[in-house]
Amino acid sequence: MRILVLDVPKEGVVFEDYLPYLLDETKHAWSLLKSDVIREIYFRQDRPGVVVIVEAESIEKAKEACSQFPLAKAGLIDFTYIPFGNYTLWENLFDEQHKI
């Protein structure tokens, strides 16, 4: 299952609160990338934070992996989990009723 994971900063937390954890945060992300749990990771462009594409058997498994991020363990962030799948309507392009 593919899951879009968005970080959610806890209220009142400022960037300086993250600083002691950022190296370990990066190390944890790297370990998840190497183990094929994280498939893609990006910086958000609308605010500080990340967008992560996770591959896991379930949302619960994704939550287990993400709960081990140092920022999450320190109570500085939480996550939103959105499961998604392949777009399956491509067949409409080839359906005879839609031909011009």
Which run of H or of E encompasses 24?
helix 22-34
pTM of the model: 0.85
CB 73 within 8 A of CB 67: yes
pLDDT of residue 99: 67
Q: What is the per-residue pLDDT for 55?
A: 97
| Helices and strands per DSSP (H, E), number in the chain | 4, 4
Q: Phi/psi zone of residue 75: left (φ > 0), alpha (ψ -120 to 50 degrees), beta? A: left
Distance CA 31, CA 62 (A): 14
Ordered per-residue pLDDT tens for the chain, 100 residues: 999 999 999 999 999 999 999 999 999 999 999 999 999 999 999 998 999 999 999 999 999 999 999 999 999 999 999 999 999 888 888 887 766 6
